[in-house]
Amino acid sequence: MPEAETTAAIAEEVDAFGFTIRPDEAAAAGQGKGSGKRDRRHTKKHLQTVRQREIKWRKMLDLNNFRGGQSRAQVEGLQHEKFRSRSFKGIPDSIRGEAWRAQLVDMDAEQYPTDAELNDAWERFEDLMPAEDTPLYSSFEVIDKDLHRTFPNHEYFRLAALPEQAALQGQAHSSNPNAKTIISGQVEMRGLLRAFAHQHPVPGYCQGMGMIAGLLLMYALRNDAYRMFCSLIRKEKYLLDMFAEGLPRVQLFTGALDWLLQKKLPDVGDHLMGEGLMAVIYGVDWFMCNFAKTLPWTTVLRIWDRYLVDGYYVSFVAAFEIVRLLRPQLLASNDMQQHMTLLRNLPIEVTSESVLIPAMDKSKLRYEDVAAALEANGYKPMPDLPEPRFKPPKPAPTIVQAASAPTQAEPVTSAEADAGAPGAPVRVAVQPTSDSPKHVAAASDENQGLRVVDVDDALPGTASALQPARSTESIISKSESLDLGPSDWV
């Protein structure tokens, strides 16, 4: 990136959530994407209110972690309504990550990998190179393509890196000759999505998952974000089957929205259907990303606070109210192209937190209505999927080779090895994988140079157990120096 362009990128103003503030958003008093009511958020009264709510949330989250000696059943029964009502009012931003984790992970944390397991595995996922003809390779390719278009206006995921971030930079998939440099947030997103695709071959990776992963990484460290992401994808009340092959739940939900509009807003529903403008044309991102790609950020967060409590019902209420608020504009003409543009580029007058959230609070759409719409479109309840046992990639085998080693192993007789002549080759064995019961030992002396041999269940230093090498071999000569000490025993 040219220096002037980089400087300009650094100088851009960002809002309280890390999103770049465009000039039109600043002029609109922070009502654009990624912004809230900037003046109100900095008033003393507002900050005092937020602080009081933070204290209440902290006490409630402590109780939900069973620190008061109450049972899980007591906590779930007594605290659910309080948790729900406070979530609907909006979770303080400083508490949001913990509150979301409490909803998604804490109650069944034993199903997920531990921090120790994940910390040990991230580098392996980064280095993993699956065979080119496998679904996993295809998933990794699509992940790398999507990185740079996922939250490109957020400072954590932006392509232009500050100089001090250089140490955190990684490289995109090495098989792609046009791969771009990726920065710290993208590295974490890439690792999370790679890990999920590896651990969950079905559904693997699907476009749209990056928006969910990015949202979670803004509010949680990567280990927690990974566990939260897995919970969302495997639970029926959230995104189960949303990313399955053929997108069956996307089709189900958009069909149910069409049904609701025709039943509850018949003038608008019939008008849109008469134009052939079904919800599957404009509403896919609404349901797949739960509006993370569509609405102003403060509105997105308020919807997600509710979504993690009540599940997909909240998505239907938001979608229904958006169409209801657009009713006058939709009925004003029969121009399908104009209506499609309107529904895909929602105006801020409808989507701002101060408009859409109160509309959702007053919505006449009930859970029973959503259930009827889903049933009319062939919905059948599904059980939550169990989280598979965590199996990270195995470490790559370590191969001991000299730079001048020939490509093919040559036979080495015992007479040649015992001759002690300068340059006489000796066997060097490749380290077995972690599945092998064998250990590898190195032995050397003044005459023989370095020799690496397999040892069946032998402890380092047990010379009597040394056996001729039986694994894949390469050749080095005695005249070449390789220094292996006790620390090189494996």
**Cα–Cα distance, 397 to 410 (Å, whole number):** 22
**Cα–Cα distance, 293 to 14 (Å, whole number):** 18
CA-nearest of 183, 323, 352, 181 to 265 is: 323
Give the CATH class of 111-234: mainly alpha
What pLDDT score was predicted for residue 326? 97
Domain regions of the chain by residue span: 1-35, 111-234, 248-376, 414-488
What pLDDT score was predicted for residue 77? 54
Decide if 193 contacts 205 (C-beta within 8 A): yes
Distance of CA 57 to the CA centre of its chain: 26
297: its two tokens: 């950020």
pLDDT per position in the chain (490 positions), as tens?
444 444 444 456 888 888 888 666 555 544 444 444 444 555 788 788 888 999 988 888 875 454 444 444 445 555 678 888 999 999 999 999 999 998 898 667 788 899 999 998 998 888 888 888 899 999 999 999 999 889 988 988 875 444 333 344 333 333 343 444 555 788 999 999 999 999 999 999 999 999 999 999 999 999 999 999 999 999 999 999 999 999 999 999 999 999 999 999 999 999 999 999 999 999 999 999 999 999 999 999 999 999 999 999 999 999 999 999 999 999 998 999 999 999 999 999 999 999 999 999 999 999 999 999 999 999 988 999 888 888 888 776 655 554 444 444 445 454 444 444 444 443 434 344 444 333 333 433 333 433 333 333 333 333 333 333 333 333 333 333 333 333 333 3
CA-atom Rg of the chain in angstroms: 29
CA-nearest of 265, 328, 319, 329 to 295 is: 319
Return the bridge partners of 427, or none. 475
**Cα–Cα distance, 45 to 52 (Å, whole number):** 11
Q: What is the DSSP string of 357-389?
A: HHHHHT----HHHHHHHHHHTT----PPPPPPP
What pLDDT score was predicted for residue 40? 55
Letter string b/e over residues 320-344, b meaning 16 or more CB atoms within 10 A of that residue's CB: bbbbbbbeeebeeeeeeeebeebbe
What pLDDT score was predicted for residue 79? 62
What pLDDT score was predicted for residue 63? 56
Output phi, psi for 450, to 5 deg: -95, 135
What pLDDT score was predicted for residue 360? 97
**Cα–Cα distance, 299 to 303 (Å, whole number):** 6
Architecture of domain 248-376: Orthogonal Bundle (1.10)
